[in-house]
Structure 1
């Protein structure tokens, strides 16, 4: 059972390491701090509009997935549903600080199996199937490994050795 699952275990292991180190190996664009000292924040709807406009300029789908607001840095990261880009917007001036690719987002989708859903149906069927099979495989390997380690000790004890 372990042989067919080894590819998935390797995939999960490699992507786990990449996700743990994502900031150190720059799989995310670095967060840029605002240059504005004081002021009032622009509205989230304005941030969305700025992100959409920037994607239109680049010829990419502008459908926004979420906004990650960083009050301590004075910025917001606008991410998109159909690609792994982000637009960093100054929270005070509305200036576009950077546009970059969020490599950690696609690595996370590979890690949890949702990459199949992302490119096909959009539901969570592949993610749930993948996660369940891999988890059951790991549980089986853990229990069988313990059994293979412990059972010989029981046999030796019963034989009196």
Structure 2
């Protein structure tokens, strides 16, 4: 039993080495994203007021974000939005774009540009969960489902076989006495 467990453990490790390396390294970077001095994820700025009633209209702020993207980053980039994160407690809105990794933070009340930043964390997340490959292949989530299932089951396999490789010899010595 122990010999077979070693073979399974070794086979899993050898066959999935590259995927585990990618998942582990990207996981480490994601863990550090808020402590990277704004390199992995731009720091959230603070606006002039938290009173949402004093904020500019959403369409005005969106126009400012689009203009800033075109004027300050690249006029060829898509202005399609992935999401708008409103942070009333900080007085800001984050405009996150769909087809690239740029974001723009605006003061909700004045429309002042507080930050133009690359969201490297979004790219790292796409690598981590396999969605970057899913997007490249155009499989609409099927690759992500297969990839995360494979990685989850492999981790479960490593846990079970690793436990048995640790516990098995103890159990066998106890039984042989």
User: If the length of structure 1 is used for normalisation, what is the TM-score?
Assistant: 0.89
- Give the number of the structure whose residues are more often helix, by fraction: 2
> Which of 98, 118, 143 does residue 126 from structure 1 map onto?
143
For residue 96 of structure 2, give the secondary structure of its aligned residue in structure 1.
strand
Q: CA RMSD in A?
A: 1.9
Greater relative contact order (Cα 8 A, min sep 6): structure 1 or 2?
Answer: 2
- Cα separation, partners in 2 of 1:37 and 1:4, compared to 1, 3 Å: closer
Identify the range of structure 1 (76-85 vs 22-31) with the bigger mean alpha-carbon deviation. Answer: 22-31
Q: Does 1:71 align with 2:84?
A: no
Q: Would the alpha carbon gap of residues 93 and 158 (structure 1) be closer, same or farther in structure 2, given more than 3 Å must change?
A: same
Is the alpha carbon distance of 1:43 and 1:153 closer, same or farther for their aligned partners in structure 2, counting shifts above 3 Å?
same
2:5 paired residue number: none
- Matched positions, count: 160
Q: Following TM superposition, by how much is the alpha carbon of 1:154 offset from its aligned partner in structure 2, in angstroms?
A: 2.2
Corresponding position of 1:52: 66
Listed one character per residue, the Cα deviations across residues 35-82 of structure 1 (whole Å, up to 9, x for unaligned) are: 468761123333323222322332211000101111122111100110
Aligned pairs for 1:86-105 within 5 A: 86-105=103-122
- What are the superposed Cα offsets for residues 57-110 of structure 1, whole Å, 9 maximum, x if unpaired? 322110001011111221111001100000111100112222110011101111
Q: Distance in 2 between matches of 1:152 and 1:122?
A: 45
Report SS of the residue matched to 2:35: coil
Question: Residue in 1 aligned with 2:3?
Answer: none
5+ residue gaps, structure 1: none
Residue in 1 aligned with 2:170?
153
User: Secondary structure at 1:33's aligned position in 2?
Assistant: coil
